[in-house]
Chain A
Amino acid sequence: MATMPASASDLLKSFKLKTKQQELLIRVSILCLVYILAFITRLFSVLRYESMIHEFDPYFNYRTTLYLTENGFYDFWNWFDYESWYPLGRIVGGTLYPGLMVTAVLIYRILRFLRFAVHIREVCVLTAPFFASNTTLVAYFFGKEIWDSGAGLVAAILIAVCPGYISRSVAGSYDNEGVAIFALLFTFYVFVKAVNTGSLAWSLASAFGYFYMVSAWGGYVFIINLIPLYVLVLLITGRYSMRLYVAYNCMYILGMLLAMQIRFVGFQHVQSGEHMAAMGVFFLMQVFYFLDWVKHMLSDTKLFQAFLRITVTSAVAVGGIALGLGMVSGYISPWTGRFYSLLDPTYAKDHIPIIASVSEHQPTAWSSFMFDFHILLFLFPAGLYFCFKRLSDATIFIVMYGLTSMYFAGVMVRLILVATPAVCLISAIAVSATVKNLTVLLRSKNKVVQTGSTKGSGGSKSSSKALLDQSQPFQKNGAIALLFGAFYLLSRYATHCTWVTSEAYSSPSIVLAARGAHGNRVIFDDYREAYFWLRQNTPQDAKVMSWWDYGYQITAMGNRTVIVDNNTWNNTHIATVGRAMSSYEDEAIEIIRSLDVDYVLVVFGGVTGYSSDDINKFLWMVRIGGGVFPVIKEPDYLVNGEYRVDKGAAPKMLNCLIYDRARGVEIGNKDVKLEHLEEAFTTSNWIVRIYRVKPPNNRW
């Protein structure tokens, strides 16, 4: 037992490395491995299918990125898109977050400059895994800032494989979140660093990080509310310091100015209710600075107390009055529906059906937490305990981040993504602290025997632990057992994450796979088949009507004008389409003709048993249509309050347009006769069906 470490240290001594350098080598090699691992584990779908863009939203991002590469930045910034939302069009330059596209094009240009002949699509597909790897690096530095480098390493490895993050950053998922989580963690890290050091340079970096986040994702509202909340907590707990003043002020002013450069955000930072917390805390900071200065000036504390009382009450009163005036006069807009539904989860269901209908906006089930976090779920409270034991400005921040993001993750499934970095960091603290305590126990006895060796952190504790050791002889064995248990748990975690990634999060959802009758894998490529048929067999200016889920894909791959797409900015337009889909054919054809539609596209799952087709989405069409046109009433389509599509379905249901189109061959109303639409194309597995609108008959 004593010879083995001697030979190992001999080996390392042959490299002429000192202890510090050995540690550095280990750390750097671990980080490199983690970096590569984070990238590789997201490549399942590229290996199984091919390198393509998944889902719906990424197709819009891809289309805008193409436009940006071809036309340059100035045209992109001022682009008006007439191919979607016919007949309204869409001001793309002012209604999107350009961070993702600009990043991808920058990477593309750099690679081209280095003479790698890549296609922009490859860059788009692999952007998210690349940024996931960068996030692991940021997580390492953040962990080092909060606790120590050991916790940083564990945080990096945890976040590299955590399913909560992988779900939105697989290769092919070219969506804002892939870049935004990197920006989020980077901004938080740099801000905490600024609070710890009080340097203007780090605050400037945090302002730039915030700018990047604003350009990338609408979730920046989380940052602009969490940081003021954190500052407020520090102020209340008496941790005001000049470092905090410097950090927050610089970040707020510069960050706000930079953020207003993005047209989509515009002047919201001074006008919208969601951003008012930041401004309020800014003014409060000035008050605290003033008080600090006065306290420094005066030597008499009694006088200062009186002054304190007067100032604080008057400041709060003035602030309250100003806020009240702003909200009452309507200058400061109240919280928008999307974010208000986070505070009041029942709000969206009653008032804004579009937001409620997105499956990602549903409240989170317990099983989702377990699925996405595994052992991190119980390491999270353990980490909170360790953070509270060693409270500092940085640990207060991570505790607040963790608690607020977990609350929001409970409200909306999609926000598990935002909670993931916090959970990983806090769990890393728990793991690192536990493992450190256990190994200290182990090495306390060996310290007498061993000569060489690595981290000297056991040094101070070993003397006290050695005394303890003699009284509890089984302590060392207990420590070894616990260590093995910890490593076993971590390895189960890694296995679970890889399994989850491979099974659940790697399907491109535009290509479906299933097991055939003989157990072989059958690929359904129906969506792309339909879109390419549209591209090749319809006139250039044909307009296609479908439910908004498919809008982006139709414009990107089919290259035809659509009526509504995933941007969902015009509720009335979507409601019109919903009404058309749910009325009798005669009423529907009026609406269809008024919108100049040439083709109708529906998704039908009857033959293949595909469960997410338009019939299942139908109830949402009714709800959204009914939200704007009271003609459509939801109870008409239900039987005894239940939603059925077979023979027992309600009469209105049986006769409406979508039923005809989608379930043409299904049980229920067979032999439907279509007067105004004729079938144009059906894909090989009957999943997508396209109907052509017949021109009106000549009456005479």
Chain B
Amino acid sequence: MGRTSSTKEDAGALFHSLRSAYAATPVNLKIIDLYVGFAIFTALIQVVYMAMVGSFPFNSFLSGVLSCVGTAVLAGKSNFLSPLFAKDLPPERAFADFVLCNLVLHLVIMNFLG
């Protein structure tokens, strides 16, 4: 009994501290997070659609889902302003890498769509 209530309190306290800490992050990081969230949301919609309609052109389905996941992941990584990252790469270089990877990703997707 005591365990469960303490876990609940823990969860509640966790949630609150997370919210407050998140509200403190700078705005541009929140925008990038929104972008990542949107990409994942698009991927989920595609999965639901495939579940309803069937997966016949499987390569098209895969390319759609993976393009969303890919952009999400890449954007998540280019979070180079976040203090989680090592500071040894200059931001211009990181941005150039990000653009290059996105370019390759979308070229391959376009080839794969079929």
Contacts and interface: CB of A to CB of B under 8 A. Distances in A.
Contact of B17 (A204, A245, A292, A298): A298
A307 B14 CA distance: 8
A261 interface: yes
Given A200-B98, A204-B104, A294-B18, A257 B66 contact: yes
A297 B105 contact: no
Interface string A292-304: 1110111110010
Contacts of A256: 66
Contacts of B104: 204, 207, 254
B70 A261 contact: no
A114 B22 CA distance: 61
A260 B21 contact: no
Given A201-B100, A254-B101, A306 B10 contact: yes
A521 B11 CA distance: 84
Contacts of A592: none
A43 B20 CA distance: 70
Contacts of A293: 84
Nearest to A200: B97
Interface residues of A, number: 35
A260 B59 contact: yes
B17 A250 contact: no
B35 to A, nearest CB: 16
Contact of A253 (B7, B13, B105): B105
Contacts of B13: 303
B108 A257 contact: yes
B102 to A, nearest CB: 10
Q: Looking at A197, A207, A253, which has the most chain B CB atoms within 10 Å of its CB?
A: A253
Chain B, interface size category, equals 35 or more
Contacts of A243: 86
Contacts of A466: none
B109 interface: yes
B15 to A, nearest CB: 10
Interface string B68-88: 011001101110000111101
B89 interface: yes
B45 interface: no
Q: Is the interface of A mostly helix, strand, loop or mixed?
A: helix
Interface in B85-114: 85-86, 88-89, 93-94, 97-98, 100-101, 104-105, 108-109, 111-112
B62 interface: yes
Contact of B73 (A201, A249, A261, A297): A249
Contacts of A298: 14, 17-18, 21
A207 B70 CA distance: 13
Contact of A267 (B14, B58, B73, B108): B58
B101 A200 contact: yes
A669 B14 CA distance: 88
Contact of A200 (B17, B21, B86, B94): B94
B69 A296 contact: no
A299 B86 CA distance: 20
Contacts of A246: 77
A110 interface: no
A254 B17 CA distance: 36
Contacts of B22: 297
Nearest to B10: A306
Contacts of B112: 257, 260-261
Interface in A257-274: 257-258, 260-261, 267, 270
Contacts of A297: 17-18, 21-22
Interface in A200-217: 200-201, 203-204, 207
Interface in B24-64: 58-59, 62-63
Interface of B: 7, 10, 13-14, 17-18, 21-22, 58-59, 62-63, 66, 69-70, 73-74, 76-78, 83-86, 88-89, 93-94, 97-98, 100-101, 104-105, 108-109, 111-112
7 contacts: A198-B86, A242-B84, A253-B66, A260-B62, A296-B84, A300-B17, A303-B13
Given A199-B94, A204-B97, 13 more contacts: A200-B74, A243-B86, A250-B77, A253-B66, A253-B105, A261-B108, A270-B62, A294-B18, A296-B83, A298-B14, A299-B21, A306-B7, A306-B14
